[in-house]
Structure 1
Amino acid sequence: MTVDDRFARDFRENRDLPLGTLNEIVTGPVSDWATDFSHTEPEWAADPYPIQDDLRRRCPIARTERFGGAWLPTRYEDVAAIAYDTERFSSRSIVVRNFRPPREIAPVGDAPPISSDPPFHHDARKLLLPAFTKTAVARYEQATREFCHTLVDAMEGREVVDAARDYAQHIPVRVIADMLGFPPEDGPRFRAFVESTLEGVNLPPEERVARLSELFDYLLEQIRAHVDAPRDDLTTYLIDAELYGRKLQPDHVAGTMALLLIAGIDTTWSAIGASLWHLAKTPADRERLVAEPALLTTAMEEFLRAYAPVTMARLVKEDMHWRGVDMKADDWVLLSFPAANRDPAQFDRAGEVVIDREVNRHAAFGLGIHRCLGSHLARMELRVALEVWLERIPDFTLDDPAAVTWSTGQVRGPRTLPIRIT
């Protein structure tokens, strides 16, 4: 049996797990955000901030019976407390959906290390750290800059462009493809994988599993190609890596690759798109950044705070009374870093975008042991994308504010962003 045959066999066996607890598919208008919230509804996608502000004032930990039961804390202190509490909250599944994976997949989870609990988490994360240091990330900056210029070149002569579809969405796709050693022409497939994983949470479980199987079939193809022809990239590194004196399990390798592919793409394109959306609708900030390019690094952090794209999830380990509410075992808890970032108790002028904000300890990259491993990479991509855009396209506005659409689910960013170049 060849190495790739054995890998495929082990991968299939380890992925053949029961679905866990199935829950009713629940969609439709929200009756009361305090008792019936749903982060998958269009109203939330369009503008969640007034909803979060209202909940923070009158019901800081909201509840819903959708998805089999879930909680939504909106204060920074509550979000942080849960993020740091690995004794009472599990990370074995970080995307709220209509079925819960079985407890047997802990402490590894289905996408290590983000789905891993201690003590396994520490060692799985440590394996990846060398690939995401500032020095390692710097190797990709020049190619990223050149690619951004290529994207702008393709817009030549157009009065209206879609800054999400024509620009933001392509940048992290190319960077992650380079890191993993995947064919760059597969970018459209990556975007489909992202949307199925993060926005298809209310699909029937069988359909969702089928779509995820397409993703893992693709990853297996790439793994086989790397086994046949090893190269200097992250995929070969994961195939060769050892943990506790043994090669990584096939589902660990594929799960980590899925994490890098999904999380590494959607979070960054959302941050780039949201930043461009803000600048398109806020001429004073756009003009100031064009005139003072050195301010961009500070402004970037404010865009990350104000438009933090990511909400993570945890599962309650055991029944308990927590800060005034009765949580049940396997209840979901949505950790809304966007809501935490707009808590007036934590940030002065929390609801405003202050591009020269000097003290900005935001939670856009998460809190606790699962703080984003790729934060240096995301910052580099966001900075380069904005530098190139503002250099090449200094004057722009929203073409039609009503035509901007936002993704649903736990990663929020513009999906369509028509911008008029002036």
Structure 2
Amino acid sequence: MTADDRFAEDFRQARADLPLGTRNEIITGPVSDWATDFSHLEAEWAADPYRIQDELRQRCPIARTGRFGGGWLPTRYEDVAEIAYDTERFSSRSIIMSNFRPPRELAPVGGTPPISSDPPFHRDARRLLLPAFTKSAVAGREQATRAFCHSLIDTFEGQDVVDAARDYAQHIPVRVIADMLGFPPDDGPRFREFIENALEGVNLPPEQRLARMEQLFEYLQEQIRDHVDHPREDLTTYLVNAELYGQKLAPSHVAGTMALLLIAGIDTTWSAIGASLWHLAKTPADRGRLIADPALLPTAMEEFLRAYAPVTMARLVKDDMHWHGVGMKADDWVLLSFPAANRDPAQFERADEVVIDREVNRHAAFGLGIHRCVGSHLARMELRVALEVWLERIPEFSLADPAAVAWSTGQVRGPRALPVRVAPR
């Protein structure tokens, strides 16, 4: 048996040995009261979560729901931060709130380490990834990213209206992550399907959702097999050869980390780029300031990340307990809404405004605690370059039809349709 065959067999066995978790009934439909029946999957939430979060912060800072087997939603910065840092009482073994709870046996590794890992395993799994995401490593990818952004805008020639999300924002992280992992860049449509299955398909029957996830892991197995046969200088080959505690990484660890990078590394950045372009399309004063003073962009970019933070993460309560006056049960979900934390007026002055020259901006867009995004340098580079190139090439643009803008549902929020009227330079 070759090394490739052994890895593939180990991978299949690891997937087969995964125990089933707790399944809950699918609960959909209109929300009766956001304080007692919240749902982050409803169209009303996708269209404008900030109004709802502001109301909850005043009424009951920790909302609850019976959907998905029970869950909680803190909306104050201090509560979100406290839970994010509390690894003793809250587990990260599943970071997507759905009708399926992975079993406790998956801890402390989880299905997509290190984001699904609990201490002490988390620290060592995270440390493996750090070299690929240093500032110097990210800087080495900037030139290719900039050239790709220009090539995307080249395709707009002759068009009066383009979709800034579909035709621009979504393609940038797809190309960057595919290059990092050594995946075929033409597989972008498959990546978007995997993302939709993972992040927006959480209301599907558990069996159907698991079957869709298997499609992702079958694809990853194909890529791993190819990298075992044809090693090269990329992150996949690095993970296949990496060691932890004196042993090669388990096949499930390799594939899980690759799945994390493929899904989280694309959708979050795609959403941040799209939301920033949406703001600039509807706010000509801010767009004009950035055109006149490009040096302001890094500061403005941080404000876009604060105001339109795309990511909400989930935790699972480890044991029954009372927490800040609410009775949490073991395996209750807790949604850590970093967007809500970033709009808390107790933490930020003029929290509901976008202030592109905000000087003090310790936002939580990249998370808080031990799971703060390992790829933050990469995401910032992609966002900055995407905006620099767009503003250089298309300084004048506006929403073609505000009603046609569509936002994703679930725990990563960003424009999925963003038609803008453009006047290329």
The normalised TM-score by structure 1 is: 1.00
- 1:61 is matched with 62
Matches within 5 A, 1:36-185: 36-185=37-186
- 2:390 is matched with 389
Q: Secondary structure at the match of 2:35?
A: helix
Q: Secondary structure at the match of 1:92?
A: coil
Matches within 5 A, 1:266-415: 266-415=267-416
- 2:188 is matched with 187
Residues of 2 paired with 1:10 and 1:316: CA distance? 31
Q: 1:5: how far off?
A: 1.3
Residues of 1 paired with 2:28 and 2:330: CA distance? 23
Q: 1:9: how far off?
A: 1.4
> Cα RMSD over matched residues?
0.5
Residues of 1 paired with 2:33 and 2:12: CA distance? 43
Q: Deviations over 1:286-339 (max 9, x none)?
A: 111011100000000000000000000000000000001000000000000000
Q: Which 10-residue stretch deviates more, 72-81 or 6-15?
A: 6-15
Matches within 5 A, 1:242-257: 242-257=243-258
- 1:8 is matched with 8
Residues of 1 paired with 2:20 and 2:285: CA distance? 51
- 1:261 is matched with 262
Residues of 2 paired with 1:14 and 1:36: CA distance? 37
Q: Secondary structure at the match of 1:33?
A: coil
Matched to 1:203, the amino acid is L
Matched to 1:395, the amino acid is E
Q: Secondary structure at the match of 1:268?
A: helix
Q: Gaps spanning 5+ residues in structure 2: where? A: none
Identity of aligned residues (%): 83
Matched to 2:6, the amino acid is R
Residues of 2 paired with 1:420 and 1:42: CA distance? 25
Residues of 2 paired with 1:259 and 1:107: CA distance? 16
Q: Secondary structure at the match of 2:347?
A: coil
Q: Gaps spanning 5+ residues in structure 1: where? A: none
Q: 1:14: how far off?
A: 1.4
Q: How many aligned positions are there?
A: 422
Q: 1:13: how far off?
A: 1.6
Q: 1:18: how far off?
A: 2.5
Q: Secondary structure at the match of 1:36?
A: coil
Q: 1:10: how far off?
A: 1.2
Q: Secondary structure at the match of 1:51?
A: helix
Runs of 4+ in 1 over 4 A off after TM superposition: none
Q: 1:212: how far off?
A: 0.3
Q: Secondary structure at the match of 2:36?
A: helix
Matched to 2:15, the amino acid is R
Q: 1:199: how far off?
A: 0.2
- 2:35 is matched with 34
- 1:226 is matched with 227
Residues of 1 paired with 2:191 and 2:216: CA distance? 9
Q: 1:19: how far off?
A: 2.3
Q: 1:12: how far off?
A: 1.5
